[in-house]
């Protein structure tokens, strides 16, 4: 055994004991005859003192040490002299007086600081290149431990509730989840390919057909997406499926799970139990987005009706064209400088909003409760009727000193733009309580959406999701109105998971495939195995998948999911440490019957099933 105790373990009750520790040199302070070493391992830091007079050999060894040397220390635990305790360290009341110091391995000077928080601002590329050093940093070690605790809590919760943990293969046939597949050439079957699972979706459904009834897996998923801000080509899900359940049953177990996990790993307070449930329409209307951050209010307001006949053409015309006039209130924002307001207008441009109208309530209402023009600061107020101003103030619940920001446009422009603005206002006005966990469910998603480019209907979730019973009849007549038995779970503005009740009957599955524009031959080729299985007594079933990285990142208050992954890739899918992807030996390629063609690849024909829950460009609500 290299060590009798960890570097985080010793306390005053160990005083007098002879111990052996091993770890890395976190810091070394040389006072001549006395050398202080901070010895670090995963569990903590222990101060070691080495005295020249008492232990000349140990002192000689210690004088050679540099940071990150791996060292074994044998010595006696002693109480630190009064006044020299370190209240910031759990081991801060003791130190180990070394008798022997052994270098187990020296270290080159690391490319960045590992000790304390000094490495926190290091360039991420450098951190990824030397991830094994980066992970030694206390914050990263903490994130790894937290992730482990989350996964462990999930497993224990589900074992207790009769779930079976079953692994499914990675070499499979395409499982569409809205991204491209990573494909793996088969050597034994020239010209044929496996796909890496975008999720175990079809396999978990087949496990339900197999009678497993309650399944889960901490599953790795692979999606070849154009990587946006916080995506990774491979990530981990809690993948779960249950038989003989409806949507409420799945939601109930996940709600219980998230409460249990949160209480085990986090000091943050859960805002509301049971978790609020919003329909998709409500979420868009009130927050402009299907993953609202409910840690604060500032709901959007809608004055389309009141502005339908406005003398102000921008508002009137937007409504006439089927658009909306919606806005968000900026508490106390009436006094913002023109530049600051222009800055807010910049924030909505990426969403295609042509402008941001604004009205500041710089003064108060008159005796009758109306806001005269003198009380308003606005480039547009003079074009509005007094009754319209009254309506605006009433609907937005504005108070003197507030700024109202309005967008007149199509809902698919106005909503995401205002959602982003709302988040920004929430942040700037300090309304977002960082100690809250605000969970909610979003339900009643549309089953299908029209794909302009491909001119056909696409599944919003995935093509195995069932329609709400009473909406099946609309599938052929009014597809846009068909609601899905789908649900997303949202935490602090992040979609942390989604799932659905599945189709379990062959005829219904075929009916949906037809609506998605797939002909019999395509269906047979791609999904024949599912349709066949459904003919052998498939039970009603449904499930969900939760994104482990997002959940851990939220608990850890990490800015990116990369912070909670041991070995993530860069935003362009590169592993800087392993230098992957990389060329392979031509012999290997030949064995696989593969020839690399230089130049741009042909345009991708698109995937038949799209997932739209993340509107492009919408920044995730920061944790």
Catalog residues that contact ligand ASP under the rule CB under 6 A.
177, 199, 201, 498-500, 543-545
- C-beta of 440 vs 486, nearer to ligand ASP: 486
For residue 487, the minimal CB distance to ligand ASP (Å) is 9
Give me the sign of the Cα torsion angle 171, 172, 175, 181.
positive
Of all helices (H) and strands (E), which one includes residue 75?
A: strand 70-79
For residue 259, the minimal CB distance to ligand ASP (Å) is 20
For residue 241, the minimal CB distance to ligand ASP (Å) is 7
Contacts of 123 (CB under 8 A, 6+ apart): none
- C-beta of 198 vs 302, nearer to ligand ASP: 198
For residue 499, the minimal CB distance to ligand ASP (Å) is 4
DSSP 467: B
For residue 201, the minimal CB distance to ligand ASP (Å) is 4
- C-beta of 119 vs 608, nearer to ligand ASP: 608
DSSP sequence for 484-542: BSEEEEEETTEEEEEEEEBP--HHHHHHHHHHTT--HHHHHHHHHHHHHHTTTTPPPEE
- C-beta of 93 vs 449, nearer to ligand ASP: 449
Query: Which one, of 303, 281, 567, lies nearest residue 442 by Cα?
Result: 281
> Token pair of 297, please?
């209010």
Of all helices (H) and strands (E), which one includes residue 162?
A: none
For residue 545, the minimal CB distance to ligand ASP (Å) is 4
Strand (E) positions, 154-203? 164-165, 183-185, 193-195
For residue 544, the minimal CB distance to ligand ASP (Å) is 5
> Token pair of 386, please?
């007094």
For residue 229, the minimal CB distance to ligand ASP (Å) is 19
- C-beta of 344 vs 486, nearer to ligand ASP: 486
19 - beta bridge partners?
Answer: 75
* R_g (Cα) of the chain, nearest Å: 30
Widest Cα–Cα separation across the chain: 93
- C-beta of 133 vs 221, nearer to ligand ASP: 221
- C-beta of 479 vs 543, nearer to ligand ASP: 543
Contacts of 556 (CB under 8 A, 6+ apart): 142, 143, 146, 563, 564, 623
- C-beta of 198 vs 492, nearer to ligand ASP: 198
- C-beta of 91 vs 202, nearer to ligand ASP: 202
Of all helices (H) and strands (E), which one includes residue 231?
A: none
Distance of CA 343 to the CA centre of its chain: 27
- C-beta of 498 vs 620, nearer to ligand ASP: 498
- Using Cβ positions, the residue closest to ligand ASP within the complex turns out to be 199
- C-beta of 360 vs 543, nearer to ligand ASP: 543
In the block, tokens 């909670």 appear at 564
CA 556, CA 145: separation in Å to the nearest integer?
10
For residue 535, the minimal CB distance to ligand ASP (Å) is 22
For residue 462, the minimal CB distance to ligand ASP (Å) is 6
In the block, tokens 């079957």 appear at 189
Cα–Cα distances in angstroms (integers) from residue 587 to residues 427, 515, 584, 594, 595, in the given order: 56, 45, 8, 10, 11
Q: Is the peptide bond before 581 cis (omega within 30 degrees of 0)?
A: yes
Pairing of strands 448-451, 376-377: unpaired
CB atoms within 10 A of CB 109: 7
For residue 319, the minimal CB distance to ligand ASP (Å) is 36
């Amino acid at each position: 055994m290299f060590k009798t105790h960890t570097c985080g373990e010793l306390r005053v009750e160990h005083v007098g004991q002879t111990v052996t520790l091993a770890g890395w040199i976190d810091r070394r302070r040389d006072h001549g005859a006395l050398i202080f070493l901070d010895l670090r391992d995963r569990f903590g830091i222990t101060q070691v003192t080495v005295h020249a007079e008492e232990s000349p050999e140990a002192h000689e060894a210690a004088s050679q040490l540099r940071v990150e040397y791996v060292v074994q220390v044998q010595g006696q635990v002693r109480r630190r002299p009064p006044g020299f305790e370190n209240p910031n360290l759990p081991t801060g009341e003791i130190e180990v007086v070394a008798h022997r110091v052994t270098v187990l391995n020296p270290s080159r000077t690391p490319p960045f600081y590992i000790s304390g928080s000094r490495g926190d601002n290091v360039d991420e590329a450098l951190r990824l290149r030397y991830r094994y050093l980066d992970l030694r940093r206390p914050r990263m070690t903490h994130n790894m431990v937290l992730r482990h605790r989350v996964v462990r809590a999930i497993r224990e919760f589900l074992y207790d509730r009769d779930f079976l943990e079953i692994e499914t293969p990675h070499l499979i046939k395409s499982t569409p989840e809205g991204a491209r597949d990573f494909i793996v050439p088969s050597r034994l079957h020239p010209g044929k390919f496996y796909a890496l699972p975008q999720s175990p979706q079809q396999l978990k459904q087949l496990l339900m057909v197999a009678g497993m009834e309650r399944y889960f897996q901490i599953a790795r998923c692979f999606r070849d997406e154009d990587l946006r801000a916080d995506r990774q080509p491979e990530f981990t899900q809690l993948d779960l499926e249950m038989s003989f359940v409806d949507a409420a049953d799945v939601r109930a177990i996940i709600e219980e799970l998230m409460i249990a996990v949160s209480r085990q790993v986090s000091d943050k307070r859960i805002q509301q139990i049971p978790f609020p449930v919003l329909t998709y329409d409500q979420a868009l209307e009130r927050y402009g987005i299907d993953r609202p951050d409910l840690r604060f209010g500032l709901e959007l307001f809608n004055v389309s009706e009141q502005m339908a006949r406005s003398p102000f053409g921008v508002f009137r015309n937007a409504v006439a064209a089927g658009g909306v006039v919606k806005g968000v209130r900026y508490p106390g924002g009436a006094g913002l400088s023109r530049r600051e307001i222009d800055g807010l207008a910049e924030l909505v441009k990426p969403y295609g909003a042509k402008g941001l109208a604004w009205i500041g309530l710089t003064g108060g209402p008159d005796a009758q409760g109306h806001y005269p023009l003198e009380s308003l600061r606005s480039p547009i107020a003079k074009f509005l009727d007094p009754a319209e101003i009254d309506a605006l103030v009433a609907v937005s619940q504005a108070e003197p000193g507030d700024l109202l920001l309005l967008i007149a446009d199509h809902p698919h422009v106005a909503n995401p733009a205002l959602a982003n603005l709302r988040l920004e206002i929430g942040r700037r006005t300090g309304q977002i309580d960082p100690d809250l966990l605000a969970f909610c469910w979003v339900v009643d998603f549309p089953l299908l959406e029209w794909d302009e480019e491909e001119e056909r209907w696409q599944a919003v979730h995935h093509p195995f999701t069932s329609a709400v019973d009473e909406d099946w009849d609309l599938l052929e007549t009014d597809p846009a109105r068909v609601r899905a038995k789908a649900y997303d779970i949202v935490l602090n503005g992040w979609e942390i998971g989604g799932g659905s009740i599945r189709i379990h009957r062959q005829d219904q599955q075929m009916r949906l495939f037809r609506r998605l524009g797939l002909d019999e031959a395509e269906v047979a080729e791609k999904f024949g195995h599912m349709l066949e299985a459904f003919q052998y007594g498939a039970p009603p079933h449904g499930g969900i998948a939760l994104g482990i990285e997002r959940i851990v990142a939220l608990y850890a208050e990490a800015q990116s999911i990369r912070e909670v992954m041991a070995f993530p890739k860069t935003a362009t899918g590169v592993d800087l440490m392993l230098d992957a992807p990389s060329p392979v030996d031509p012999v290997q390629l030949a064995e696989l019957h593969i020839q690399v063609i230089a130049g741009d690849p042909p345009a991708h024909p698109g995937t038949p099933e799209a997932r739209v829950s993340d509107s492009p460009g919408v920044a995730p609500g920061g944790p």
